[in-house]
């Protein structure tokens, strides 16, 4: 499946039951939205949330990817959630919670063959089956569910996320091996801007495409962290120039600022420039 040319720097969760938040989202610069029918919605609000969301999806969310997180199929609501959004023309993808293996995706494909699927990666089984899940043809993206994963494995919160590294790394490698999108987990302390920034930078440095966020105040921090900086853009341009000059002089490797520049660095530099262009195009 080819990837849509979209950005996922900030992926905002919105409880589908909260009309005010749904309305507010239209004015927020989030790259993508996860409309949540699962954990952010109380059991006795599930049916109503489905109706609110169905109507809200016809509002103008602009360029933002619209992803609906349904309840898992082994809950009382999963089947009805999938039935309600499997053919909804305003829904770009369905996000499936607690995916343990490709069989869990297969069960959803049988009910929603027309929608790309995203998987919540939030169980120990999922970490161990990450490659098989990433390789499923219906899968478009992965979202790290770090809160559920911590609950399951019994790890504690640490600012450096050392206990999460194995799971994050396995899922990241799996997604990259199959060319799928992968978004980092949420940062719960939504008033702690420094803490969020540090976690965004860690996820970005690892190779994540963006971060899931839970509050409007987190959107800009994620957008900035996952966008190339001016210094990175400047370096990318100079690397391309230096390499072209080296090739022109009959050499295969350039030296810039005391570091070698090979063809692979040029590919990475072009990727950085392309990302900046995509961000600029979206702002127009
Ligand atoms: N998306 C869009 N708008 C949101 C929002 C979200 N996720 N969270 C809050 N807002 C809006 C509020 O509606 C409010 O709008 P208003 O001032 O224009 O009326 C504004 O942002 C400020 O909200 P605030 O009062 O600071 O937050 P809160 O105390 O009402 O809610 C949370 C805090 C964490 C409960 C809320 O942000 C939330 O529900 N986040 C999503 C949680 C979620 O989806 N979890 C599942 C995945 S982990
Ligand atoms: Mg979860």
Per-residue pLDDT of the chain (284 residues; tens, 9 = 90+): 444 469 999 999 999 999 999 999 999 999 999 999 999 999 999 999 999 999 999 999 998 999 999 999 999 999 999 999 999 999 999 999 999 999 999 999 999 999 999 999 999 999 999 999 999 999 999 999 999 999 999 999 999 999 999 999 999 999 999 999 999 999 999 999 999 999 999 999 999 999 999 999 999 999 999 999 999 999 999 999 999 999 999 999 999 999 999 999 999 999 999 999 999 998 76
Q: Domain containing 268: what range?
A: 230-283
Does one domain contain both 217 and 240?
no
Coil, helix or strand at residue 140 = strand
For a mutational test of ligand 1's pocket, the pick from 214, 219, 222, i.e. the residue with the most ligand atoms closer than 8 A to its C-beta, is 214
pLDDT at res. 5:
65
Closest Cα to atom 42 of ligand 1: 214
168 part of a folded domain: yes
3 part of a folded domain: no
pLDDT at res. 283:
79
5 part of a folded domain: no
| Strand 210-213 to 181-184 pairing | parallel
Does one domain contain both 111 and 185?
yes
Question: Looking at the 3D structure of the chain, how many domains does it have?
Answer: 2
Q: Which ligand is nearest to the CA of 97?
A: 2
d(CA 273, CA 266): 10
Does one domain contain both 73 and 196?
yes
20 lines ligand 1 (CB under 6 A): yes
For a mutational test of ligand 1's pocket, the pick from 215, 217, 222, i.e. the residue with the most ligand atoms closer than 8 A to its C-beta, is 215
Among 143, 147, 140, which Cα is nearest to 120's? 143
Coil, helix or strand at residue 116 = coil
Does one domain contain both 133 and 173?
yes
Question: Among the three residues 204, 225, 246, which one is the final residue of a domain in this structure?
Answer: 225
2 part of a folded domain: no
Coil, helix or strand at residue 55 = helix
Does one domain contain both 130 and 150?
yes
Closest Cα to atom 27 of ligand 1: 215
Does one domain contain both 31 and 131?
yes
Q: Which ligand is nearest to the CA of 10?
A: 1
Ligand 2 centroid, distance to 98 Cα (angstroms): 7
pTM of the model: 0.96
Does one domain contain both 234 and 221?
no
Coil, helix or strand at residue 88 = coil
Question: Among the three residues 210, 225, 240, which one is the final residue of a domain in this structure?
Answer: 225
15 lines ligand 1 (CB under 6 A): yes
CATH of the domain at 43: 3.20.20.60
d(CA 95, CA 34): 8
76 part of a folded domain: yes
Does one domain contain both 155 and 275?
no
Element (H, E) at 67: strand 65-69
The radius of gyration of the chain's CA atoms, rounded to the nearest angstrom, is 20
Does one domain contain both 69 and 186?
yes
Does one domain contain both 218 and 264?
no
Does one domain contain both 249 and 265?
yes
Does one domain contain both 28 and 104?
yes
């Amino acid at each position: 499946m080819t990837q849509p040319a979209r950005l996922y720097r900030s992926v905002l969760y919105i409880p589908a039951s909260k009309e005010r938040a749904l309305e507010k989202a239209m004015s927020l610069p989030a790259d993508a939205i996860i409309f949540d029918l699962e954990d952010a919605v109380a059991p006795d609000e599930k049916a109503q949330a489905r109706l609110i969301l169905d109507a809200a999806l016809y509002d103008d969310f602009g360029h933002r990817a619209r992803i609906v997180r349904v309840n898992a199929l082994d809950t009382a609501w999963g089947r009805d959630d999938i039935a309600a959004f499997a053919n909804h023309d305003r829904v770009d993808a369905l996000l499936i919670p607690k995916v343990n293996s490709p069989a869990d995706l297969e069960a959803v494909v049988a009910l929603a063959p027309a929608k790309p699927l995203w998987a919540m990666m939030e169980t120990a089984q999922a970490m161990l089956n990450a490659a098989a899940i990433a390789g499923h043809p219906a899968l478009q993206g992965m979202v790290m569910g770090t809160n559920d994963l911590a609950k399951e494995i019994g790890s504690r919160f640490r600012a450096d996320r050392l206990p999460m590294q194995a799971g994050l790394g396995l899922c990241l490698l799996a997604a990259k091996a199959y060319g799928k999108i992968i978004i980092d987990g949420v940062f719960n302390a939504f008033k702690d801007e420094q803490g969020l920034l540090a976690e965004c930078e860690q996820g970005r440095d690892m190779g994540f495409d963006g971060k899931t966020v839970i509050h409007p105040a987190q959107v800009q921090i994620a957008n900035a962290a996952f966008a190339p900086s001016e210094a990175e853009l400047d370096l990318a341009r100079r690397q391309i120039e230096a390499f072209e000059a080296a090739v022109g002089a009959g050499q295969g490797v350039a030296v810039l600022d005391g570091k070698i520049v090979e063809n692979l660095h040029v590919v990475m530099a072009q990727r950085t420039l392309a990302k900046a262009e995509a961000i600029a195009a979206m702002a127009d």
